[in-house]
Amino acid sequence: MVIIRAKQLVTALNMPWRYSDEVAVINDAAVVIRDGVIIDVGTWEEIKRRHPHANIWDFGDNLITPGLVDPHTHLLFAGSREDELERKLQGESYEEITRKGGGIYKTVKYTKETSDQELLNILQKRIQIATSFGTTTVEVKTGYGLDIDQELRLARILKSVKSPIDVVTTFLVHIPPPAGRENYVKEVLKAIPYAGTTYVDVFCDSIAFNVEETRTILKKAAEAGYKLRLHADELEYIGCSDLVEELPIDSADHLLNTPPENVRKIAKSGTVATLLPVTILTLRTSKKPPVDEMRRLRVPIAIGTDFSPNSWSLNMQTAIELAVYLLGLTPLEALIAATANAAYSLRLTDRGIIQPGKIADLVIWDVPNYHWLAYEIGRNKAKLVLKRGEPLRFL
């Protein structure tokens, strides 16, 4: 049994956390951990009295929060696309680059040419980097196969990963291959029962799958027992976010072009809005998700990195910083979006908040309070990352 003392402890008190719900901010706080599980939380004075014989880890100058959860990544691919950055700056859009055979098609080619073992090594290295920034659970999608055998291969690799943190697996139906969409959708429908991931996700958008195709795929996935996620309204609004009314979608992600009236549909459905501010930066778009309307209707907001070849950041701290400075979330909202609500976006209710009975995924930060997490940009502020009570990273 160990007591961790901290200058400040911050956690949501319920999942999902909706705007204006209560939050715990405890100064001179302590958490008690036994066998990887949180067993007590309170002020240092209370905890000391209740557990007089426990070991003490004194982080009296530091902030402690739940471990960060990254609910949206594309970590499993080979190669990179740094050469496209100049093209983007010259005004070529993501859609144009993709149509000319760059973008995703280039990544698909590299990934296909890379062995299972090499891909596994790449994946493990990326997870390690994410962990160093405070991520203790990560969702990872397939999606760079684009033919069904390749996609199933990626799903297999994903399921075989040995990782110090928890990996939630998603089979992503990403983009129609050049060979033709109709046939691909048919193949996807046949293959879904064999993917073996926790989630199925579809990129529903102008350059990807339309609403009808998305509906068919997600329906089939739900019937086969998968949980559902959705890339919705990222590049254009073509009706994708409307699908939350019809299907049990745990998380609708991006939402850059979501009309304000659709926020009501999301609010009613119980779907989490997962916002990806790093991608807003790398797309160089002026579009923003309707955060004010989401607050007003109390939609639970999560944030993620959306790590991909087009948007290269494994750092959830960057997502927190940009959620504040770019999207206008408060530092507290951004922290909860990266912890309690990100966990809830994956329907993992055993983590993301600091409460007795939850697993001891925690980060001790080299900052004195939660404001500082968003306030300071660009430094890795994670001092100690704990996964089920075990240290993963010391600064």
Q: Identify which of residues 307 and 344 has a Cβ nearer to Zn ion in the complex.
A: 307
Contact indicator for 389, 363 with CB cutoff of 8 Å:
no
For the stretch 169-205, what's the b/e string if a residue is b when 16 or more beta carbons lie within 10 angstroms of its beta carbon?
bbbbbbbbbeeeeeebbeebbebbeebebbbbbbbbb
Instruction: Tell me the C-alpha distance between 184 and 175, whole Å.
Output: 10
Task: Establish whether 144 is an annotated binding residue.
Answer: yes
Nearest to 318 by CA among 185, 133, 101, 132: 133
Radius of gyration of the chain (CA): 21
| Residue 347, Ramachandran bin (φ over 0: left; ψ between -120 and 50: alpha; else beta) | left
Q: 25: helix, coil or strand? A: strand
Closest distance of CB 297 from Zn ion, Å:
24
Task: Establish whether 371 is an annotated binding residue.
Answer: no
Q: Identify which of residues 204 and 384 has a Cβ nearer to Zn ion in the complex.
A: 204
User: Residues in the site for Zn ion, rule: CB under 5 A?
Assistant: 306
Task: Establish whether 199 is an annotated binding residue.
Answer: no
Task: Establish whether 82 is an annotated binding residue.
Answer: no
Closest distance of CB 304 from Zn ion, Å:
8
Closest distance of CB 22 from Zn ion, Å:
32
Task: Establish whether 51 is an annotated binding residue.
Answer: no
From residue 206, alpha-carbon distances to 157, 200, 307 in Å are 29, 19, 21
Closest distance of CB 91 from Zn ion, Å:
23
Q: Identify which of residues 234 and 293 has a Cβ nearer to Zn ion in the complex.
A: 234
Task: Establish whether 231 is an annotated binding residue.
Answer: yes
Closest distance of CB 231 from Zn ion, Å:
5
Q: Identify which of residues 151 and 306 has a Cβ nearer to Zn ion in the complex.
A: 306
Q: 123: helix, coil or strand? A: helix
Q: Identify which of residues 63 and 167 has a Cβ nearer to Zn ion in the complex.
A: 167
In the chain, what's the furthest Cα-to-Cα distance?
A: 68
Return binding residues for 4-imidazolone-5-propanoate: 81, 144, 174, 234
Return binding residues for N-formimidoyl-L-glutamate: 144
Return binding residues: 72, 74, 81, 144, 174, 231, 234, 306
Return binding residues for Fe(3+): 72, 74, 231, 306
